[in-house]
Structure 1
């Protein structure tokens, strides 16, 4: 294989630049987090643990090997917030913000990279979209910060409540899943609290819908129409949340360690929260180590599907899953085309959805098998953690802190691949492909 392209930076494709940018941010973040000032005790964090934490923060996952609330100092927690924002919005989006502030023109090459990072099919209006992304994101985070600060101020001093509000607003909107309540508790103290639940779920959903959908929704009053992409994302998101909440409510209703000990209000809040958070958020209001095995497995499915394209979340994405479901339904009905909202889906989109799903499934299976070989842990826990890492979810059943150094490295690679997407990573690391000059004759094989 020819690796000459590695040194020819000027000719790098947008996927290679994006992968390299994320890798550089992770390495810088790991270096800073390993410094004494980042820890509450002034001790250096082991570099592997610092690298794991930086990867989890930049890839907005939320899996941790040390307790964020007690181990890191305020300065260290601020560093994590910066990594959330860079990882969630994308380093190219933040670089564009700097360029816009200094009124620097965005070049064609930079627009191509932005198109790739935002998962868009065209460069048209990409800079305008970035402006909206920044405006909407900061506005939503500010609203979350104010609501969290108001609620937390009843339980702690105002200054501390403000910092907690800012940290969790940025973490949840970017679907990072980190918390600073200590003892790996996440939001379990507020399992029945309406303000915290509504605020947290709204931040997670808005962060996971994707910036194109948010733009469509906020301009609906003026345009009076939604794009096909937004309709599909909203329909599948609502379906997954509704089914997820119902399934979790049924499975855990009599479990005394989860829903069984809550009143009806708490049961409903917790059911919806646990249905929304596998969409790559990582926060939780129930103890995941106490969930029944059926619930854990169902959560794995939700984590694998993940959020929507162009969002802060991971997974194979809701649109990919929708195309797969549509293909199955069309095949059962004997129809040639997949149709959503009276629009026929192009075959290349279906092929891309299948490719993403198979690559993602292969990654999760391989990681699970390797971890099952080197780690002495129950299989379901390993599968859960591997899927959580791939989907950049951050939910955990307690396995991550117990992993060996090799296990941590494997999970790091999985988080990195999950954040960027297996297809983007394949494009970035591959030597490039030449256009086919001919087509082979069509053949037929028996299926099923």
Structure 2
């Protein structure tokens, strides 16, 4: 009965009323469909691509993942590459954010329904200050992409010529800031492994993009650590910690590996690659060395970093840094016999901890279930398939060579993971669950755990 009432509440007066998370999921699906149609146009490709190729590439672009089944640099025309870049920007910026920017530029009013959808798209708990946040997002995106474009042009224009070099610089700047990982080079950024400018610009773009627009807005309005919100403090501290773990761990595990760092001649080259490969699993997706040649320990570390991802309201995916940190804080509080959760002088409500548990449980269930299907349908190594699943769920884009060999079933599973990773695992709950207030309250009883 509760399920029937929940479904009936979606239809009133012959009109379907969907909650914001569900509607946003349908909007992203619609954008993927439009992108696939555009990529199937003869003008979009140099070689003939199938509908399966087009849908996969469009899904990867809209979800800002970067996994590819065709080489966009050699198999897509400039028009097709521009479609990919546009899908990346729309997917990374957020459809409702883009819509509000357009409405504001046209001087049209933005009503409460639009604000509610925007609130869900940006992961905010309140509709207040949303328009200010949208303004900050637009300014940050514009400045970051244009600055990255200008700096990358100093490297790519001399190498490729004026027109092609400018286009490559713009494409990679858009892809990097949106944590997409798409590259027009067949070897990603391996050719720039020891180039300081490319290493600094690309990583700066995807780290800033992965912090989250809420953090960037807070940094622009407040001065000093004490004035920052708890969310900003957690994101800055968590990001710094994960960067150190990622870069240091990669260097430690791969230093003498002849297939990765061991093949590089100098200390500087190894440090640059360690830095890049240590931060790129946080949903960026570019690589400057052969990820298929990594040792199993490094592969496992990369999988963990990919699942954690970046920050909420960002261009990154994963369960998010704040989710990971709250899980660690809750674990520490349990062992300290604390009944309240605190961080940086702020208390954390119980409902936040419950949301963390839901995110981790749903995320793990989705990854494990999808991996089970991949193991049954594909011939790849188990660790390689786990790497692929984690990369898709975290909307990262790193691969150990499995993507191009996927069957149609495998492609469908990876597309599903990319889509869920972009719209958020909790969105799935809005389709599966109905809120029903309890009619009876029962006394609590002890349960033996562990």
Aligned pairs for 1:36-435 within 5 A: 36-41=42-47, 43=48, 45-181=49-185, 183=186, 185-221=187-223, 225-262=227-264, 263-427=266-430, 429-430=431-432, 432-435=434-437
Q: Compute the TM-score of the two structures, normalised by the length of structure 1.
A: 0.96
The C-alpha deviation readout for 1:159-196, integer Å capped at 9, x for no partner, is 11110011000011111110001x3x110000111000
Distance 1:437 1:124 in 2: 33
User: Which residue of structure 2 lines up, in the alignment, with residue 20 of structure 1?
Assistant: 26
Query: Given that residues 92 and 117 in structure 1 are in contact (C-alpha distance below 8 angstroms), is that contact kept between their aligned partners in structure 2?
Result: yes
User: Which residue of structure 1 lines up, in the alignment, with residue 447 of structure 2?
Assistant: 445
Quote the offset at 1:436 in angstroms: 2.8
Distance 2:172 2:441 in 1: 53
Quote the offset at 1:424 in angstroms: 1.6
CA RMSD of aligned residues (A): 1.5
Distance 2:339 2:225 in 1: 33
Aligned length in residues? 443
Distance 2:15 2:269 in 1: 54
Distance 1:97 1:386, change over 3 A: same
Quote the offset at 1:425 in angstroms: 2.5
Task: Provide the secondary structure at the position in 2 that maps to 1:339.
Answer: strand
Distance 1:235 1:199 in 2: 21
Distance 1:102 1:438 in 2: 52
Distance 2:380 2:286 in 1: 23
Quote the offset at 1:10 in angstroms: 5.3
Quote the offset at 1:221 in angstroms: 4.1
Distance 1:238 1:268 in 2: 17
Distance 2:89 2:15 in 1: 26
Distance 2:383 2:111 in 1: 48
Distance 1:138 1:438, change over 3 A: farther
Distance 1:410 1:126 in 2: 34
Q: Compare 215-224 and 298-307 and name the one that shifted more.
A: 215-224
Distance 2:182 2:196 in 1: 21
The C-alpha deviation readout for 1:391-419, integer Å capped at 9, x for no partner, is 00000000011000111011101110111
Distance 1:344 1:222 in 2: 20
The C-alpha deviation readout for 1:410-448, integer Å capped at 9, x for no partner, is 110111011111102321x23632333332221211112
Query: Given that residues 19 and 425 in structure 1 are in contact (C-alpha distance below 8 angstroms), is that contact kept between their aligned partners in structure 2?
Result: no
User: Which residue of structure 1 lines up, in the alignment, with residue 40 of structure 2?
Assistant: 34
